[in-house]
Structure 1
Amino acid sequence: MAGTMQLTNVLKTLADPTRRAVFERILQEGEVAATGLVRGSKVSQPAVSQHLRALRDAGLVAERREGRHIHYRVAPKGLSPLIDWLGHYQTFWQERFENLERLLKESE
């Protein structure tokens, strides 16, 4: 049950396009201060803070404090519930594609 709740939380968190953009920016930059995420974006500082909190609560980012600044980086293990779930369906679809390929070869 906990795995299902974690997956749901990750999916809900990444469903928001702005939050996903913040996550992707952190991923691209490796580590970035919260103030750096506000600069160059059309999102206000309070909104960025709210998105960062959601990402942190979902286990998708980790933070490091340096004085008054908080630096964020992607926490790869946070994506584990999603990767595991997709892995299950990868096997499902791989088998279906193999069956389809076999059927097409037989019909030639």
Structure 2
Amino acid sequence: MEQVDTTVGPALGTDLAALQEKAAEAARLLRLLSNERRLLVLCHLVAEGEMTVGALAQAVDLSQPALSQHLALLREEGLVATRKEAQAVFYRLADPRAARVLALLRDIYCPPEA
């Protein structure tokens, strides 16, 4: 079995009090990212910058009503923001912490081909 490197950063071991204060906030973000469809929505928004509901529904293979429920939750929690242009509503990633977590997930699960 491979040894796990537990050194995730110099501050983690010395600043557990700060982590304890932010644990609920971190858990909330991870809970939002724990749904596969929401995770895919956010990944597409990272890749494309912004997308309409129709384009997102097609990209993640969800009906518009189902996608709208996910987007409403993400919007309420501040992970995405909207911009309206005529009849189209464009969504974009709005939380820099979520962007950092998504980048880390990409690095772990989708590393560039060596």
TM-score, structure 2 normalization: 0.60
Within the alignment, does 1:72 sit opposite 2:91 as a pair? yes
Q: Which residue of 1 aligns with 2:56?
A: 37
Contact 1:63 1:70 in 2 (8 A): yes
Q: Which runs of 5+ in 1 are unaligned?
A: 83-108
CA distance in 1, matches of 2:42, 2:59: 15
Higher relative contact order (CA 8 A, sep 6+): 1
Q: How many residues of Structure 1 are paired with residues of Structure 2 in the alignment?
A: 84
- Distance change >3 Å, CA 77–CA 71, structure 1 → 2: same
CA distance in 1, matches of 2:35, 2:65: 16
CA distance in 1, matches of 2:44, 2:51: 9
Structure with the larger helix share: 1
CA distance in 1, matches of 2:77, 2:25: 8
Q: Which residue of 1 aligns with 2:67?
A: 48
Contact 1:26 1:72 in 2 (8 A): yes
Q: Which runs of 5+ in 2 are unaligned?
A: 1-19, 102-114
The alignment's C-alpha RMSD in Å is 2.7
- Distance change >3 Å, CA 70–CA 78, structure 1 → 2: farther
TM-score, structure 1 normalization: 0.63
Kindly, what percent of the aligned residue pairs are identical? Answer: 33
Aligned pairs for 1:1-108 (under 5 A) are: 3-79=22-98
Contact 2:41 2:60 in 1 (8 A): no
